[in-house]
Structure 1
Amino acid sequence: MARRSDQRRAAVFAVYQHDLTGRPLADTLERDAPIFTRALAHATEDYSEDADAIIARHAKGWTIDRIAPLEKAIMRVALTEILHPDAVPGDAPIPPEGAIEEAVKTAKTYAGAQAPKFVNGILAAALREMREDCTP
């Protein structure tokens, strides 16, 4: 069985290809993709409008359309796991900091030099906002 970090990366690339090509999400997933990968990709698609609103709110000076598609896909997947942990099957959801760490690691490996800092800043701001909203 593939590691969860590999499955997250596969979900990111499926979402990225779906956004870039307009092909159905199911067609961008590997034929033998594990259930976790499929569920995460589909949940990310389901919550993409919410994620995009959060990204746009924290991307100072950037419109959502100007953000590179891969970076957007990375952040959407992380936000799905942070905000909707029950949408994806598994033993225990990843902690929000873990989701951010995985997103930054993916950005370091596959996106531009500035992407890790950009991804980290937006996701950290979103997590702070979420925690402030939950504080009585």
Structure 2
Amino acid sequence: MSRRSDQRREAVFALYQHDLTGRPLDDTLPKDAATFTQALARAALARQPEFDDLISRHAEGWTLSRIAPLERSIMRVSLLEMLHPGDVPAERSIPPEGAIDEAIETAKAYCGAEAPGFLNGVLAAILREHRAADGATSGNGSENGGGR
């Protein structure tokens, strides 16, 4: 894994611990957390109501409370980078497809067998909706390949 992937994972786990324990985010971040890790975690937490609404609307047949806390945290970090790249340092931003790939890889490593497919489905549906809304307002079709 790359250093950025490790930092994303640290942000996910800090959010996960915050979600489970209710402790302040600063208490769940590693003491030596990189600036990027801190920015991701803080921005994802600040936008949590927005992200939780999106997850709830696109996780067909699932309530937010039924989704495992770690999976919610993975999606929140991914959604931050997908929908609000300006909230993280520009030199660290990745394309939306890259954010989804990172989420899937994290889920493969730390979640149940069904989680990667579930996260992929929810995040891809949100991205499609976002691009459709963005295309309707700006006319800039954002598809640029993004494949592997």
1:98 and 2:82 equivalent?
no
Q: Secondary structure at the match of 1:125?
A: helix
Shift of the 92–12 alpha-carbon distance from structure 1 to 2, 3 Å rule, reads closer
Task: Supply the AA of the counterpart residue of 2:18.
Answer: H
Q: Which residue number in structure 1 is paired with residue 31 of structure 2?
A: 31
Which structure: larger Rg? 2
- The list of structure 1 runs, each at least 4 consecutive aligned residues, that deviate by more than 6 angstroms after superposition, is none
Q: Is 1:83 aligned to 2:79, yes or no?
A: no
Structure-1 separation of matches of 2:27 and 2:83: 26
Number of the residue aligned with 2:52: 52
- Residue 140 (structure 2) aligns with: none
Q: Aligned equivalents of 1:11 and 1:90: distance in 2? A: 17
- Native 8 Å contact 1:36 1:90 kept in 2: no
Deviations 1:91-133 (A, max 9, x none): 1521000000000000000000100000000000000000010
**One-letter amino acid matched to 1:19:** D
Structure 2 alignment gaps of length 5 or more: 137-148
* CA distance in 2 between partners of 1:34 and 1:92 (Å): 12
| Letter paired with 2:131 | R
Partner of 2:121: 121
Alignment TM-score, normalising by the size of structure 2: 0.89
Contact map agreement 2:4 2:92 (CA 8 A) in 1: no
- On the 8 A contact 1:107/1:115 being kept in 2, the answer is yes
Task: State the SS of the aligned residue for 2:112.
Answer: coil
2:139 alignment counterpart:
none
Q: Residue in 1 aligned with 2:132?
A: 132
Q: Distance in 1 between matches of 2:40 and 2:58?
A: 23
C-alpha distance in 2 between matches for 1:92 and 1:110: 23
2:36 corresponds to which letter in structure 1?
Answer: F
Following TM superposition, by how much is the alpha carbon of 1:65 offset from its aligned partner in structure 2, in angstroms?
0.8
The share of aligned pairs that are identical, in percent, is 62
Change (3 A) 1:35 1:124: same
Give the RMSD, CA atoms, in angstroms.
Answer: 1.0
Gaps of 5+ in 1: none
In 1, distance between residues paired with 2:4 and 2:15? 16
C-alpha contact (below 8 Å) 2:16/2:69 kept by paired residues:
yes
